[in-house]
Amino acid sequence: MSEAVLERSGLSADEPGRWLDDGYERLMAMSWRDCLDVQLRIMQRRFDELVPQVAALEKLARREGITAIASFEDALPLFFDHRVYKSYPLSLIETRDFPRLTSWLNRLTTHDLTQMDLAGLTMIDDWIDRLDAFGMFIGHSTGTTGKLSFIPRSQTELHAFRNCHNEASRASSGVNPWNDPIETFFPGYRYGHQMAIKMVSTFNIPAAGGEAHYHTLYPGRISADLMSLAGRMQAAEDRGELERLGLDPALLKAREELIAQGQRREQDIEAFFNTLFEDFRGQRVKIGGTFGDLIRTARSGIEKGIKPEFAPGSFIGTGGGMKGFKDPPADWESYVKDFFGIETVSMVYGMSEGCGFAPRCSHGYFHTMPHTVPFLFDRDMKLLPREGVQTGRYAFFDLQAETYWGGFISGDQVTIHWEEDCDCGWKGPRVGPTITRFAEMEGGDDKISCAGTAQAYNDFMDFVSQVQ
């Protein structure tokens, strides 16, 4: 049976990381229901190959009593959530205990990291450099919860990752990153191991046509050490004990610079965009940034009477939601387009934990491609039917992950349209148009408790923030 189905999709079960080698068009013309068998076959193979090699997966499978996968449903209890990628004790970061941190990471990958030389390491960034030199491609999270996740990607997945990034960008912007260099502006860090920055610099510098055509707000790299220790450093400073943490003086200096840089950010970003508006007037450009960056730049530009002008074929590449940005214009996209004088806003939906990206179509939906197998769960973590229109917590299996486990449950709440009836013409389950964070709490509570737990604190936040 599977052979016949394989013929139907025409996709090889051996190399899902190469499915995009001939471009996204073929995959977007494929019905996801025709891909189910090849997807399941790959998932089974991943399970069989990874369980003996990835200790965390092996332990989870043993605990769940899962020895084989006969259906997608069988694999769902094995999907990792974000906690697995940050289940190390924070004190390992504080004490920079690289042997134990490495042995923790080693439980998540098929690469034998015990063979790696750890001599002389004092910084997290250097540790990741060392891992990358050993064959990994580690990305960490932004640490908004105070603790960094580390995604155990490796060079093995890099081909697929690049394919996904470039093809999703091409699909959503119409500009070909493989052979059509475009002057690129990104109002953030140039380098760093934070997954989004690392991805952007790795793939966009070549797409821009080289370093000289890639312009960033900050020339340096975002520091994993500072991000991972920000909370503890602040607490120590409050107690007047910052020096007692025994941190590298360079790190303390870097922190001071970061604080100063943060205070200057608004002016810096304005100067950055003004240079772009003046020096690249009339040229074809790609402009990145968060929704907030773009809206703020447009607002202050309009106030000052600035009117940018760029050549046709320019586009804005953005994503990530409002992230607490208050008071955006009702139709912020048109507002930003009008100000920048750029017609195309390219967006993709994806996350650090997966290689795949779903490009946004002309009708505002994010279409997933067959290398990503999407699922939705309800509040009780029951699988929602893969039909019609469903809203729930987004999870996926990334078939392209060969050296780590590709099953992941996100914290996003999304709507998926399973019927392939988008007027844009692309097929595939489509997500959107809006993506929100999945909230465990039912609305409407304002109970107060004297217990100082996060739960109680959150209850209290609800209590004070809800107005009738």
The residues binding other proteins (CB under 8 A) are 56, 59-60, 63, 81, 83-84, 86-91, 100, 103-104, 107, 146-147, 381, 440, 444-457, 460-468
- Please state, in angstroms and rounded to a whole number, the distance separating the CA atoms of residues 290 and 318: 6
Q: Choose between 68 and 448: whose C-beta lies nearer to other proteins.
A: 448
- The answer to whether residues 396 and 374 touch, using CB atoms and an 8 Å cutoff, is yes
Nearest approach, Cβ of 146 to other proteins (angstroms)? Answer: 8
Tell the smallest beta-carbon distance from residue 66 to other proteins (Å).
Answer: 14
Nearer to other proteins, 1 or 451 (CB): 451
Least distance to other proteins from the beta carbon of 250, Å?
25
Question: Are residues 117 and 130 in contact, defined by beta-carbon separation less than 8 angstroms?
Answer: yes
Smallest separation, CB 158 to other proteins (Å): 26
Q: CA nearest 407: which of 374, 384, 385, 448?
A: 374
Cβ closer to other proteins: 88 or 186? Answer: 88
The answer to whether residues 133 and 113 touch, using CB atoms and an 8 Å cutoff, is: no
Output 2 or 455, the one with its CB closest to other proteins: 455
Element (H, E) at 151: strand 150-151
Residue 185 Cβ, how far from other proteins at the closest point, in Å? 37
Cβ-based nearer residue to other proteins, 31 or 466: 466
> Nearest to residue 369, comparing CAs of 306, 311, 420?
420
Strand 80-81, strand 407-417: pairing? parallel
- Please list, residue by residue across 291-302, b when 16 or more beta carbons sit within 10 angstroms of its beta carbon and e when fewer do: bbbbbbbbebbe
Task: Name the pairing type of β-strands 430-437 and 407-417.
Answer: antiparallel
The Cβ of residue 397 has, within 10 Å, a number of other Cβ atoms equal to 27
Residue spans of alpha helices (H) in 142-212? 158-173, 195-208
Neighbours of 175 (CB within 10 A): 19
Of the pair 143, 301, the CB lying nearest other proteins is at 143
Residue number, 56 or 342, with CB nearest to other proteins: 56
User: In the bound complex, what is the minimum distance in angstroms from residue 327's beta carbon to other proteins?
Assistant: 18
The span from the CA of 24 to the CA of 171, in Å, is 7
What is the smallest separation between the CB atom of 229 and other proteins, expressed in angstroms?
13
